[in-house]
Amino acid sequence: MLLTILGALVLGAVIGALARLILPGRQSISLVVTVILGVLGSLVGSWVVYQLGYEGSGGFEAVPFLAGVVVAALLIVGYGMLTGRRQI
């Protein structure tokens, strides 16, 4: 179970970092918030993809991963709007 949690945190950091890379400008959010939004983006993005009928092959799933990056980017933009932090 600890390995699963660590894996989710690492994947969340990767997804959050990729989401921040595709957004224009500079986001003034911490690493912790990036990881949290990355994990949430991954969970929500994967859930939506599978609810739409996607059937995985069992290996690396590119479609849910990319959906997680997109959702995390949207969450980062939303977080910036809620907290009033500007994107430079």
* pLDDT, tens digit, 9 for 90 and up, residues 20-50: 888 887 778 888 888 899 999 988 988 899 8
Which residue, among 37, 18, 20, has the nearest Cα to 28 in the 3D structure?
A: 20
Residue 52: predicted pLDDT? 93
Which residue, among 83, 82, 16, has the nearest Cα to 44 in the 3D structure?
A: 16
In angstroms, what CA-CA distances link 19 with 32, 36, 69, 73, 78?
A: 14, 12, 5, 5, 13
The domains of the chain are located at 25-88
Please state the pTM of the whole predicted model.
Answer: 0.83
In angstroms, what CA-CA distances link 22 with 5, 18, 61, 64, 86?
A: 26, 6, 20, 17, 16
